Amino acid sequence: MTESLPTTTLGRTGIEVTRLGYGAGHRKPMTEEENQAMVRRVVNSGINFIDTADDYGNSEEMIGLAISDRYDKNTVATKCGSSSSGHNWSRENLLRNVHQSMERLKTERIEIMQLHGATVEDCQIHNVVETLEEMRTKGFVRWIGASADLPDLATFIEWGVFDVFQVEYSALNRDPEHWLTAAAQTGAGIIIRGGIALGEPNVGKGSESQWKDFQLAKLDELLPDTETRTTFMLRFTLNHPDIHTNIVGTTNSTHLEQNIEAVKRGPLPADLYEEVKQRLASAGIKPQPQ
């Protein structure tokens, strides 16, 4: 029997999610047939958490066409805040977003609705949290969250209103490392994006400067023969005790399988993890203090 992906509970939502999620914001063009086939391949592989957004092209629509009959076993999280002229945090636009997402995803309720990059100021000016709560009261969404980074993340955590946080974090971006724990202590589920720093520049969209930090920290010396740099990075995030799922996007089925196998291998051994953190710190890559 094939080994299943490990799972955990996404904070107070109670949703059981695989430690590896799928980011459906494709950076490479795909035909509709390829897109739907990829979504099906993802859920057939055992991944049960997919992250998308209202402004990821036709991503929501393709997910709805591919797996709307399988929502009982899979969770789709989406985001709101987009408009034809950029971000728009008005009540009118956010309600338009949620209805549009429900239509595209072919569902009567969004399981997790996240703010797509709203700042603290955006939320205060436009009463954004009140609109999210209205969506929930009306039954349009079940859980509310924010895709956010520091410094806004710190204030959002203090508010204590979000059920989930989506945060960019990896071995090469350790800024929010301590804040992930603070967020989890509120009962929120923690979703990580960028866990492999978007991949190496020659195969992904990661920046040259970030990956130079990988070399500066001499992490290649620690790579087991069975690991690539990106799978090593992915396993590094699994060591953080307060991360629930790590969304990684790809249009390459081989990369998908590599990510799955890496997560099945589990976190890095504790002594190796500590050595990695020490080397990163020596290279100036440290968490921001709280």
The tokens describing 266, both together, are: 């589990």
| pTM: predicted TM-score of the whole model, two decimal places | 0.95
Domains of the chain, by residue range, sit at 16-198+242-265
Nearest to 61 by CA among 116, 107, 115: 107
Q: Is the pLDDT of residue 199 over 70?
A: no
16-198+242-265: CATH topology: TIM Barrel (3.20.20)
Percent of the chain whose pLDDT exceeds 70: 95
Q: Is the pLDDT of residue 137 over 70?
A: yes
How high is the pLDDT of residue 202?
Answer: 59
Mean pLDDT of 24-42: 87
pLDDT band at 206 (very low <50, low <70, confident <90, very high): low
Least confident range of 29-38, 95-104, 192-201, 218-227: 192-201
pLDDT band at 1 (very low <50, low <70, confident <90, very high): very low
- DSSP H stretches of helix in the chain: 32-44, 59-67, 91-105, 120-126, 128-137, 152-159, 177-184, 208-216, 229-238, 253-265, 270-282
In the chain, the amino acid numbered 43 is: V
Evaluate whether 147 touches 117 at the Cβ level (below 8 Å). Answer: yes
